[in-house]
Structure 1
Amino acid sequence: MSRIETLTASDGHHLSAYIAGDAGAERAIVVIQEAFGVTPYIRTVCDRLAELGYHAVAPALYDRVKRDLIFGYEGEAYKKGIETYASCDQADALLDVSAAADYLQQAGHKRVGAIGFCWGGLLSWRMATQTQKLQAAVSWYGGGIAAESHAAPHCPVQLHFGGRIRISRIRIY
C-alpha cells in the first residue's frame, strides 16, 4: 500500500512524501530522489522495498520550489531538472530528508536507514556525516561526495560508483 502524506521539516516547511509499506514493517528507510524529483522510478524503489518488508519514505525535495515537480531524463526536461536542482538550497534539502527520518522514528522505528541516488546519494552521505538520525546509509553515484570525503560518518555507509573514481580518506565502519 502506498500513499502521499505531508511531512513537516524542523523549520516549519510542509512537504509531500511518497510512502510505501506500513509502520508495522520490520525495517525503515528514507529513499532520496535524484535531480528529477520523486519520479516513477523512485516510487518503484519505494514499492519494491515495501515488498521486502520496509517502511519506505521518499520526501519531495522540490516542494520548496513548486509542488509535484518531476522531470524527465532526456532533452529539455533533463536540463530543467538539473537547473532546478542547482537552484535548491542544500541545507533546506537536508532538513527535508531529516523530516522523512523523523517521520519514520515517530512511526516507531528505532533504526532508520537511507538510500539515495545522485543528488540523493550526496544527501544520504550528508545525513550520515552531519546528523545522528541514521543507522545506515547507501549512496548510488552520489555526485559531490569526493569533495566531502574528509567528513566522518556516524553509521555504516556503502558508496557505489560506476567507472573509475578515486576517493581517499573516507572512513567506513
Structure 2
Amino acid sequence: MKDITRRQFIIVTSLAAGFALAVQPIVAAVIKTSTRGLEAGEVKIPVADGEIPAYRAMPAKGKNFPVILVVQEIFGVHEHIRDICRRLAKLGYLAIAPELYARQGDVSQVTDIQEIISTVVSKVPDAQVMSDLDATVKWASASSKGNTNKLGITGFCWGGRIVWLYAAHNPKVKAGVAWYGRLVSEKTDLTPKHPIDIAKSLKVPVLGLYGAQDDGIPNDTVFQMRRLLRQGKSNSKIILYPNTPHGFNADYRPSYRQKEATDGWKRLRNWFKRNGVG
C-alpha cells in the first residue's frame, strides 16, 4: 500500500446535513430511523495525515457491540447512509460510516452527478480508502464500544465495490454485503484492482446484491464474477434481482424497489449472523 503523506490537506472536516443536492428532490418513500435508544452522531477518526469525520450509531446501553463498516455511495456520508447506520444500530451493531472523500472534497453541495465523479470520486485512491477503513476499525475498538473480532462491512454503489476490495484487504473481516458495486472497470494508478481481480483469491464471504436492469453494471460482469467466485473458497454469492435497477435500496430516489430492498436487508441480516458478525 502506498503511504498517505502528511502533505495532503483534508478538506472536509465535518459531515453535511441532510441529503446531497445531487439527489434532490427526495421521494416520498424515504425511510427515517429514529435515534431513540441509540447513541448516534458525528465522530472524528484519526487517520494517517490528520482526522476525518464519520457518522457512528450504536445502542445507547451495553458494550462490546459487533462492528459494521458502512461505505458510502458516490454522494458521501449523507442522510441515507446515516440512516443505514441507525438501522444497523437498532439491530445491536456499532455501525460507522467514515467520510472517505474527505481529502478530495465535499460532494454534498454539487448538483451534477457527473461533476461529482469527475472532480472528486475519480481522484480517490483505493490505497487511501483501505487505510482510512483500517483506521476506522482501530478507532471502533479503542475509542468506542466495538468488538472488532466481530467485524462486517456493507456498502452501496461506489461503496459496494469497496466492500469486495476491503474484504480482500483485511483478514479480520468476517463477512461483507455489497449492494450494486461495480465489478469490472479500467485499471489506473489510483484503482489498480477491481472485484473481478480478487474473486478467486477472496477468503471472506461476501454477499453481492445486484439488479438485472442496472445500466452501469452489465449482467455479463455479474455472471463472470459468479464463475470466478465459484473457483475460490470464500463461499461468496451474488443475488441478481430480475427487473431491478441500480440503487434499488435507495429509498430516497425513484430507483427504490421496496420488495427487493426488503429482501436484500433480510439477506444482509442473515448473512452477518451466519458468518459471525453478531
Residue 113 and residue 79 in structure 1: after superposition, are their counterparts in 2 closer, same or farther (change >3 A)?
same
Distance 1:162 1:149, change over 3 A: farther
Q: Does residue 46 of structure 2 align to residue 8 of structure 1?
A: yes
Aligned equivalent of 2:177: 138
Q: Which amino acid aligns with 2:173?
A: L
Q: Quick check: which has more Rg, 1 or 2?
A: 2
- Paired residues in the alignment total 168
- Counterpart of 1:114 in structure 2 is 153
User: Who is 1:160 aligned against?
Assistant: 209
> What displacement does 1:129 show?
0.7
CA deviation vs aligned residue, 1:92-149 (integer Å, no higher than 9, x gap): 0111122222222334402110001122111111111122231111111111355324
Distance 1:32 1:42 in 2: 8
- In 2, the alpha carbon distance for the partners of 1:13 and 1:153 equals 31
| Percent identity (aligned) | 29
Quick one: distance in 2 between partners of 1:94 and 1:13? Answer: 16
TM-score normalised by structure 1 residue count: 0.86
* Residue aligning to 1:82: 117
Q: What is the CA–CA distance in structure 2 between the aligned matches of 1:113 and 1:82, rounded to whole Å?
A: 27
Q: Which amino acid is the alignment partner of residue 103 of structure 1?
A: W
Give the alignment's Cα RMSD to 1 decimal. 2.1
Find out whether 1:103 has 2:115 as its counterpart: no
Could you say which residue in structure 2 is the equivalent of 1:36?
75
Equivalents in 1 of 2:165, 2:117: separation in Å? 20
Q: Gapped runs of 5+ residues in structure 2?
A: 1-38, 184-193, 213-218, 236-278
Q: Of 3, 20, 26, which residue of structure 1 is paired with 2:57?
A: 20
- Mapped pair 1:169 → 2:218: no
What is the TM-score normalised by the length of structure 2? 0.55
User: Contact (CA 8 Å) 1:38, 1:60: kept in 2 or not?
Assistant: yes
Q: CA deviation at 1:70?
A: 2.2
Return 5+ residue gaps in structure 1 as ranges: none
SS in 2 for 1:41: helix
Contact residue 67 and residue 146 of structure 2 kept, 8 A:
no
